[in-house]
């Protein structure tokens, strides 16, 4: 019983510390907002409830949406189309790889904030599920394997979009080689963002050595 009381008291102390930290962080973020941004936040339907709970995640999400100029779960065709075009019109610059990656991530994040997941494709998720089952020697996927298939599918689609969206004047030969491999039933396209950048860097090194 004594040990239980000690553990319970420790739990209460940690909970109190967490609430204090949440409140401090929440106040710090709000303190960095301009009066006009705060006004827009206070006009949101859930503001009073989320503000009372010191919901930092909600606060940051709404700030990102307001700064991006979109409404959460928007159904406006113009806004949705504009965000989609922003993703697929982000071209890479070999001297600014990190900037390209950041721009691509921000564009995708904006879509997700607005309720659009362009990398959630049922057909590709099924392919990933079959691949995972084949590697595991199983016939039926577990809940964890289904979740993993959804995650790896999205990551693979992000990687290919990142690669395909790079400057075509520089990376056309790379694209053509990968597509030729696909015809031969050899899928050498990157499966994640790290692999995509390895492809990009390999072409850059090749060009820096005087090749075209």
pLDDT, tens digit, 9 for 90 and up, residues 168-210: 666 677 778 888 887 887 888 888 878 887 877 776 544 444 4
Which one, of 129, 131, 132, lies nearest residue 121 by Cα?
129
Measured between alpha carbons, how far apart are the two ends of the chain, in Å? 76
In tens, the pLDDT along 121-169 reads 888 888 889 989 998 898 899 999 999 999 988 888 888 777 777 766 6
Q: Is 69 left (phi over 0), alpha (psi -120 to 50) or beta?
A: left
pLDDT at 75 over 50: no
Q: Is 111 exposed, middle or buried (0-12, 13-18, 19+ CB in 10 A)?
A: buried
pTM recorded for the entire structure: 0.52
* Of 21-25, 27-31, 102-106, the least confident: 102-106
Question: What mean pLDDT comes out for the span 37-55?
Answer: 88
Domain ranges for the chain:
119-212
Q: What is the mean pLDDT of the chain?
A: 76
């Amino acid at each position: 019983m004594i040990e239980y009381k000690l553990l319970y008291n420790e739990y209460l102390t940690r909970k109190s510390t967490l609430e204090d930290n949440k409140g401090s962080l929440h106040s710090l973020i709000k303190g960095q907002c301009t009066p006009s941004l705060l006004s827009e936040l206070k006009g949101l339907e859930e503001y009073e409830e989320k503000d009372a709970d010191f919901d930092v995640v909600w606060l940051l999400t709404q700030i990102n949406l307001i700064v991006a100029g979109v409404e959460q779960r928007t159904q406006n065709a113009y806004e949705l189309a504009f965000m989609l075009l922003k993703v697929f019109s982000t071209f890479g610059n070999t001297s600014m790889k990190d900037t390209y990656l950041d721009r691509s991530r921000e564009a995708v994040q904006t879509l997700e904030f607005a309720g659009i997941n362009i990398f959630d494709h049922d057909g590709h998720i099924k392919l990933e599920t079959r691949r995972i089952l084949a590697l595991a020697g199983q016939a039926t996927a577990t809940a964890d394997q289904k979740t993993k298939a959804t995650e790896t599918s999205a990551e693979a689609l992000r990687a290919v979009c990142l690669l395909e969206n790079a400057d075509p004047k520089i990376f056309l030969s790379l694209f053509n080689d990968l597509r030729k491999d696909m015809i031969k039933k050899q899928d050498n396209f990157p499966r994640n963002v790290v692999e995509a950048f390895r492809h990009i860097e390999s072409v850059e090194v090749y060009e820096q050595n005087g090749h075209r």
